[in-house]
Structure 1
Amino acid sequence: MTENSSSKRFGYSPAIPIVIPARLNSSRLPGKLILNRTGCPLIAYSIRIARHAARVSDGIIPNVIVASDSDLLIDFAMEEDVETFQSREQHLSGTSRVVEFIDDLARSEILNLAGVIILQADQVGLDPLHLVRVARLLKGKNGEEYMITLSSSLDSLPIKKQLDPHVVKVLVGPDRRVFDFSRDLQLLSKRQTKIMDSTIEMHVGVYGYTGSSLKKISKYGISDRAAQESLEQLSALETDIKVLSLAIPYSAQLLSINTIEDYEHFVEVTANK
């Protein structure tokens, strides 16, 4: 476990670190973050994306932290030269793991945070510049209750994949305001008929919280529907946090790794690069 005592770790101006919550025993594909048929464990990809974003962010993203209950994942993260936080084992979501990390910080450190970006550990194909976009928008919303996320074209996926509950969908209005998240395309399609000029898009596993919105999530916890659908982002909507989604170009590698078939595809794409 890396020490969390430095009051200067986030600098003197409001900063937005990237935190990657990671657990070894994923419910859909246990041990996926240590799968290694590409020359490095899967978790290394999201860490390297986050590190790249920090390097090109002009100081807005000062550092990257992996929060995990697994000694093995902590060791992998330290090999990638990022900070680590040893969390409790039992958490309902990645966000609750990050909230534990925030609660552990010294008061002086918390005051230096404008927000936090949560990057899913299996998000292996994201352009780091999209994380910088999220950070810049969060900085502009400092003091307000906002969550910023990312989404891309759902229509670019085959119909079978669009219907796949592993692919999370998001209902976005014309001003990029998010109205709903769901694994059920049919449910969102019904809601879409009531919201003019809205689109259903593929959600990408990035959650940027302003400091005030993270405090609110920490206070109210995971909502019933969020727990039922296993979608932590629903808690933001259900506590009246404003959610915006930045549109990004579609890429097949934006899909998170949820099944062994997803990983096989990732290995194939990586080998052909």
Structure 2
Amino acid sequence: MSQPFKVVIPARYASTRLPGKPLLDIAGLPMIAHVCARASEAGAEEIIVATDDGRILQTVQDLGFTAVMTRADHQSGTERIAEVARQCGWADGTVIVNLQGDEPLIPPGYIRDVATALASQHQAGIATLAAAVIGPEEIFNPNAVKVVLDQHGYALYFSRAPIPWERGSFASTGGIPSGKMPYLRHIGMYAYTVAFLQRYCLWPASVLETVESLEQLRILWQGEKVRVQVVAQTPPASVDTPEDLLRVGRILSGAGV
């Protein structure tokens, strides 16, 4: 039997580029409906949308899914999920997958993969995903976060910089990797135990995460491990712009890209 897991979907109404993003129509349904459907297809034992807006709450409930109101002053989706865990009284060992509310194309298998990666080991309280980097342009793209792993599949470091730096190859080729080792791009989906989640929310921001603007570096700064499961490919991009909305709409309506 596979490891039971819950999915919590943080969903805020405010968005600079796309106000009311969770409620925007994609192929005849609000975006949050598609995200909830992906979680259901993944086999989650419980799916909760965590919001601070009554319009999102009502829409999710009308769709037949569960939503809870959370405080409006949370600084991150992680803090919002921690509040849900406290509200629901979930046990310390409960596995929660943090599924972003703007990822209607996320493969359901990836949701299961990150939950399984966490449950199949005992050294880390958090797991995440990565996929192979396609080429030099992605390696040097600061918006594509890279991760380096140890031999057991735990993160050594996350960075916006091209890591590892191939001293000889990059110097002689201008940035083309030698192929001696795979470059990995971090996929920002997380699974964590309730115990880890509550502990994480007590930690102050670290210098590393401030410099790189990468929240996951807080974990490594504290000396804790992050389990990383490598998957076949980077999933389709999330919905951040009006152009993204049109692209995803075409895909979900069967019209292609």
TM exceeding 0.5: yes
Q: Distance in 2 between matches of 1:92 and 1:30?
A: 18
Report the secondary structure of 1:18's partner residue. Answer: strand
Q: Check 1:217–1:128 CA distance in 2 against 1; reply closer, same or farther (3 A cut).
A: same
Q: Distance in 1 between matches of 2:211 and 2:76?
A: 12
Count of residues in correspondence between the two structures: 242
Question: How far is 1:228 from its partner?
Answer: 5.4
Question: How far is 1:82 from its partner?
Answer: 2.2
Q: Distance in 1 between matches of 2:18 and 2:141?
A: 16
Question: How far is 1:31 from its partner?
Answer: 3.0
Q: Does residue 1:89 correspond to 2:72, yes or no?
A: yes
Counterpart of 2:54 (choices 50, 63, 71) is 71
Q: Distance in 1 between matches of 2:140 and 2:238?
A: 15
Counterpart of 1:131 (choices 87, 93, 111) is 111
Identity of aligned residues (%): 27
User: What is aligned with 1:110?
Assistant: 91
- Of the structure 1 ranges 223-232 and 85-94, higher mean CA displacement relative to structure 2 is found in 223-232
User: What is aligned with 1:176?
Assistant: 153
Question: How far is 1:15 from its partner?
Answer: 4.7
Q: Distance in 2 between matches of 1:228 and 1:29?
A: 27
User: What is aligned with 2:240?
Assistant: 258
Report the secondary structure of 1:219's partner residue. Answer: coil
Question: How far is 1:132 from its partner?
Answer: 1.9
- Alignment of structure 1 residues 231-270 onto 2, 5 Å: 231-250=214-233, 253-270=235-252
Q: Distance in 2 between matches of 1:30 and 1:222?
A: 28
User: What is aligned with 2:42?
Assistant: 53
TM-score by length of structure 1 reads 0.75
Do the aligned partners of 1:150 and 1:245 also contact (CA within 8 Å) in 2?
A: yes
Q: Distance in 2 between matches of 1:247 and 1:121?
A: 22
TM-score by length of structure 2 reads 0.79
Structure with greater Cα Rg: 2
User: What is aligned with 1:3?
Assistant: none
Q: Does residue 1:42 correspond to 2:31, yes or no?
A: yes
Give the superposed CA RMSD. 3.0
Q: Which runs of 5+ in 1 are unaligned?
A: 1-13, 55-60
Look up the equivalent residue of 2:23 and give its one-letter code: I
Q: Which runs of 5+ in 2 are unaligned?
A: 168-179
Report the secondary structure of 2:30's partner residue. Answer: coil
Do the aligned partners of 2:10 and 2:50 also contact (CA within 8 Å) in 1?
A: yes
Q: Distance in 2 between matches of 1:163 and 1:46?
A: 30
Q: Check 1:198–1:90 CA distance in 2 against 1; reply closer, same or farther (3 A cut).
A: farther
User: What is aligned with 2:100?
Assistant: 120
Q: Check 1:168–1:255 CA distance in 2 against 1; reply closer, same or farther (3 A cut).
A: farther
User: What is aligned with 1:153?
Assistant: 132
User: What is aligned with 1:57?
Assistant: none
Question: How far is 1:204 from its partner?
Answer: 2.2
1:171-211 C-alpha deviation (Å, 9 max, x unpaired): 334432222233x244x344x76xxx764323223111123
User: What is aligned with 2:173?
Assistant: none
Q: Check 1:162–1:217 CA distance in 2 against 1; reply closer, same or farther (3 A cut).
A: same
Q: Distance in 2 between matches of 1:125 and 1:266?
A: 8
Q: Does residue 1:205 correspond to 2:194, yes or no?
A: no
Q: Distance in 1 between matches of 2:186 and 2:203?
A: 23
Question: How far is 1:131 from its partner?
Answer: 1.8
1:192-241 C-alpha deviation (Å, 9 max, x unpaired): 76xxx764323223111123322320221543543555433222222222
